[in-house]
Amino acid sequence: MPLDPKYIKKPSRLIAGDTLGIIAPSSPFDKLKFHSGISVLEEMGFTVFFPETIFEQKGYLAGSDAHRADIINSMFANPDIKGIICARGGYGALRILPMIDFNTVASHPKVFIGCSDVTVLLNAFYSKCGMVSLHGPMIESLAKASDQTKQSLRDVLLKEQALTVPCKDRIVIHSGVASGIMAGGNLTTLCHLVGTPFEPDFSGQILLLEDIGESPYRIDRLLMHMKLAGCFEQIRGIVLGSFKGCGEPDLVYQLFDDVFFNESFPILAGFDIGHDEPNLTIPFGINASFDTAAGNLFFDELPFVDR
């Protein structure tokens, strides 16, 4: 069931000069892109902090599980850090979920930004702590991000107005109107949460779904797995971001039509959100709405509170 509004924890709004902490909860990252991405944040007016140990590597992971979890926990506990942004995705965030100090996160909610593999953290922070977070670009991708991606992130972080996200290529898969808490993220990553203690409850929510490099049959399997597990039974609607490298977009959209042919909730595709460019920033954990006839995604409240 949806969380009681009194348990929702909105982070404090950022202001120019605030310090953003950088974490690497998943895979190692390119150092040149890392420093270029930091420059983008500094141009926005933020100060950046990261521990030198962030560069540790353990195979395909950015250091041991305990190391990556400790950095996250320390960032939330540090009062000088006003927001947290991830270096990159890849794989590894799932491994550290049992090591996250959710009591500290709940006691010190902060602006938290990530996508891709970080989907597991965005959803866990909401389900375990009620914390609002941001699905958006990460440090490595900011290095080569489009102006639209950077402007979207800047606007969400610094502008005090409710967000409207345009649907550039309005593709109506199922028509209708929906309103609910925004959630979701990377389809593959969400599917791997099913059956774990961190499986999200999507009841009463609008799901953003996106992915990269998955063949159509794999997308079919992911959706069917989640459908058979009951993940979609009480959702309000689905909005689709980019499915880069997943075959012809029309075939992907047809898959969603086939899997959800007997469902009444609306499905709207064509949002610039996910692994492609641009990658627009949106909040998870607050109320949103959309009408497939209009095409835009409206957020009905602000994701942050004033200090």
Calpha distance 72→89 (Å, rounded) = 14
147-158 burial code (b ≥16 CB/10 A, e <16):
eebbebbbebbe
The one catalytic residue in 108, 135, 174, 275 is: 275
**Residue 116: active-site member:** yes
Report CA 139 to chain centroid distance, whole Å: 14
**Residue 275: active-site member:** yes
Helix (H) or strand (E) holding 125: helix 119-129
88: burial class by Cβ within 10 Å (0-12, 13-18, 19+)? buried
Calpha distance 27→7 (Å, rounded) = 32
Judged by DSSP in three states, 287 sits in strand
Place of tokens 């440090």: 139
Task: Give the CA dihedral 43, 44, 45, 48, nearest 10 degrees.
Answer: -80
Residue-wise DSSP of 140-190: HHHTT--HHHHHHHHHHHH--S--EE--TT-EEEE--EEEEEEEEEEHHHH
The one catalytic residue in 27, 108, 174, 210 is: 210
177: burial class by Cβ within 10 Å (0-12, 13-18, 19+)? middle
Closest C-alpha among 206, 179, 169, 174 to residue 292: 174
Residue-wise DSSP of 72-100: HHHHHH-TT--EEEES--SS-HHHHGGG-
The one catalytic residue in 116, 133, 242, 289 is: 116
Q: Which residues are catalytic?
A: 116, 210, 275
